[in-house]
Amino acid sequence: MEVKQLLTKLQEHFEEMVIIRRYLHEYPELSHEEVHTPAYIATFHRELGLEVREGVGGRGVVATLHGGRPGKTVALRADFDGLAIQELNEVPYKSKNDGVMHACGHDGHTATLLVLAKVLAGMRDRIEGTIVFIHQHAEELAPGGAKAMIADGCLDGVDVIFGTHLWAPTPLGQVLVRDGAIMAAADRFEIVIQGKGGHGAEPQHSVDAIVVGAHFVTQLQTLVSRRVAPLEAAVVTVGQFEAINPFNVIADTVKIQGTVRAFDETVRQQVKEELELLVKATCLGMHASYEFAYFDGYPPVINHVAQTQYVQEIAKQVPTVEQVTVCPPFMIGEDFGYYMQHVPGTFFFTGAKNPAWETVYPHHHAKFDFDERAMLTAAQVLGAAAWSYLTSENQEDVVV
């Protein structure tokens, strides 16, 4: 009965979610540069009477709600950083910070968690245990904020953690879950190929770094198809190939940057080693030299089985959820995986595709947006999961 009251109160506060989300959308801040946003979050929680820590792991905020009775501790997490993108949407809440945009839904994540905290704070006397609201900075830029916040104690005493991502490609009303690997490790590499520049008319006196780089990128396509086992998963993408020269000059150097994605740690290390071996062999055969740098990014997000099945059953009983689907793993990355290296938990996707929109722009696009009703769905699933976990000790049919 109390969970039903929680869901109803969240419905009544939906318009407040929208107001908060749109305000945050107007004032996005880049990763590791967040100032106004964490201050806004901290003030909101303090006005609810919650215990608040600022500057956690750098710029994170942790608010703690102590229930009226003793019990376990549940953590809920939302990220709040924006991206270096110039917004092209013509909406009343368009970003007012030039060159910065909430193009991934983190404004919605924050609004969801703030209003959920407000509703739960109004029911605190009936809560058995503690709820920790983790507001994380810098999810978009490795090394990210999660690792530093954990080191600064955001998970101290936490028994379980839940998180979600508003997901624009998935229709509103759907929730995507998966136990085990749901998101991949996300690494970055940088390569500088050093040739020997010269006159465009006299290639015999030069080593063309562009040609060397092009051969490397072409051969790179066989790394996954011929070096990684067919039943394993990996992606290697070159996102930058830079050689700026006059039209009649043979390039002296080329800079190549890209990303590696994998679920399995052995495959991740294999690709890393094969990458350098391939650039070394290419350069050796074409009389060039190279510099190779590899940056380990986020680990894969590995959902715990029991917690995933628990949220799956909870979500089925939430009125705004029309369908719960076991999804395939995604090659995108998220530093939520760090949290689940320390405590059990699960991360799920909340569908946010407006059925009336003919075009749905992807995350990290200058015209990205989402159906704001997805925030209510996310809040109801997270709220029901937290409340039921604390008050019913993870039993079946905890919502009914």
Give the helix ranges, DSSP H, for the chain: 2-12, 14-26, 36-47, 106-121, 146-151, 209-222, 265-285, 305-316, 373-392
Q: How far is CA 309 from the centre of its chain?
A: 21
Q: Out of 29, 34, 79, 81, which one is annotated catalytic?
A: 81
Q: Please give the sequence-ordered ranges of beta strands (E in DSSP) within 44-106, or none if there are none.
A: 51-56, 60-66, 69-79
Q: Out of 139, 140, 335, 371, which one is annotated catalytic?
A: 139
- Cβ-based neighbours of 215, under 8 Å, separated by 6 or more: 282, 286
The whole-angstrom separation of Cα 346 and Cα 163 is 7
Q: 342 near 150, Cβ under 8 Å?
A: yes
Tokens matching residue 290: 């190279």
Let me know if 81 is a catalytic residue: yes
- From the number of C-beta atoms within 10 Å of its C-beta (0-12, 13-18, 19+), residue 49 rates as exposed
DSSP state of 155: T
Question: How are the residues of the chain apportioned to helix, strand and coil, as percentages rounded to the nearest 5?
Answer: 35, 30, 35
Instruction: Please provide residue 201's backbone torsions phi and psi, each rounded to the nearest 5 degrees.
Output: -90, -10
Tokens matching residue 238: 């070159």
The whole-angstrom separation of Cα 351 and Cα 107 is 16
How does DSSP assign 165-220, residue by residue? EEEEEEETTEEEE-SEEEE-EEEEEEEEEE-B-EETT-GGG-B-HHHHHHHHHHHH
Tokens matching residue 27: 């004032």
- Residue in the structure block whose two tokens are 């049919």: 397
Q: 282 near 352, Cβ under 8 Å?
A: no
DSSP state of 362: P
Instruction: Please provide residue 39's backbone torsions phi and psi, each rounded to the nearest 5 degrees.
Output: -65, -40
Instruction: Please provide residue 176's backbone torsions phi and psi, each rounded to the nearest 5 degrees.
Output: -105, 125
- What is the Cα Rg of the chain in Å? 24
Known catalytic residues?
81, 139
